[in-house]
Structure 1
């Protein structure tokens, strides 16, 4: 894999840390800026909304910029708003910085996905995607716990300074490492002549792309539905003490890293096998986790297994979306980013509704199982339609790109 992919992954690590670290900082932020905890929780919602809306918009805005310029503009903007956030004493300003940070993050990830796909051969897109998304999984393993520790020791502002500091080396290396071709170009070297906006929009009409995006949103929704409520699950249902929560979260992060790595190696060779077998195993795993959550050993095992399966299937779906949008490299990356974040926002919301209805802390696990089951049904129906269409045309169904 090209070295620049690992630099992009470092930036994604900083951005993933920023997105998820607030879960441990909200009470301190509320106390320091003299707002209620629910009001401070709007910081998380604002970031999620900015990611969903911003991904396609920022991708469209930057599609004729040189790749290097687009990545640097988004990353420097992300860095600077964290400096402002660390310095401000105004909650309104902090809220505004979260929206801008989300827009910058969305734009960066959309362009980074397009760049990753363009820097490697078509049969290595899955691996390139897994390297990039590995930054997010490492944020879950190391970045978020580190942010919590910094917040506890030196206050929530220290976590914001740390995110800005981690972004600095990525900025410096990107200046020299990324090809200068426009983000709309599909050639690895940035050869001029990429598709125009209308051509990209036409390419986005493909049903195969929208199926991959929908499946990605459903699977990611299932993942973050449980991840969001994992702490109360393991304390109230499994019986772990508060000290066990970081360990369980780290196990989930380790599983997610293993899943992205394994998924990246298999997604290019046998994507349908990963999605069919991995998706079925993921659904069964959420059900089994819900049934055995009261057992400490089973919980530890399922946290690791489900983290692995979730990210193996999820990263494969994103690779499939990029394959389906090869003629819309920038907007395809933008919509893939939006789909991931739509799932990450809606999954916890649905889990919260189940909790509010009084179903207990196992409820998010059942919601996760239902979301993956829905993905399996949609994917199976789409595959059936594809096979009938191929058979009607007298063709042998081809494997996924």
Structure 2
């Protein structure tokens, strides 16, 4: 079990404390220690039980489940998924790929070639029609339109000049006079009136705002400020001191409870060791080990030697039986087909043994002494 270190701020030089903190520290720490010790011991017991359960049950079960899942996955993949995929691939090849290839090769390709031939013929015809018929007609129509445009432009220039003179003296000049002598003075008067109304409204709104500000300040802000400064701040400081002391007491009690739990755990471990482990170890060393050695030397080794002797005898018997069967088969073959003809010995031209030919040496077969 792990023991927590005291926080760093307690190791530093502490600031001077008030009498309130000193007065509530000791009873709070006593009460918290009494409450925390059972919780810490229960927590340490749960940690030890959890580690034991994890090491002895959960981890082996997890490994077994992992191995089982891997075996099931491999079996499914090898004997179900792969055959089904191969079957589906064969069916897809037979039912889709081969018919599509045949359709593309013997239907779509000839039809596409025919459509391309027809499209080339139509394009040639349209090209001839555009070059020999439509282009001359378009040039003629363009020449006619240019002439009509020139005539209409000459007529339009005269008509437009007359209309521009009439519009200037019938519309523009009267509208300019109306803007300068009527609309401009009226606009200035309206702007001056709007400025006066805006100044009046801003003055009234400013006065109302100042009045509301002082009313809210006197009736709400100053009482709330006094409540915060003279009531809530002292209460908050007292609660902060109490909370800090309780937190420090919890940390101190948790560390002390850890030491107590460690001592109790070591005591229980020692009791378990001297009441169960050591007797079992003594029985194993003084009783079971000699008995095992006696059983090994008196029973297991002779049985193993006898088994090895039986195995050697069995192998020798099987070897003799195989040799007998081989000899009988050879005799039966000679009886049916006769003796096999011996091959003629071919003289060996190369010397053997130490008299073999060597390159770049005077000890060859032809030059040796």
Whose Rg is larger?
2
Same fold, judged at TM 0.5 (above): no
Structure with the bigger percentage of helix: 2
Higher-RCO chain (CA-CA 8 Å, sequence separation at least 6): 2
Task: Give TM-score, length-normalised by structure 1.
Answer: 0.20
Task: Give TM-score, length-normalised by structure 2.
Answer: 0.22
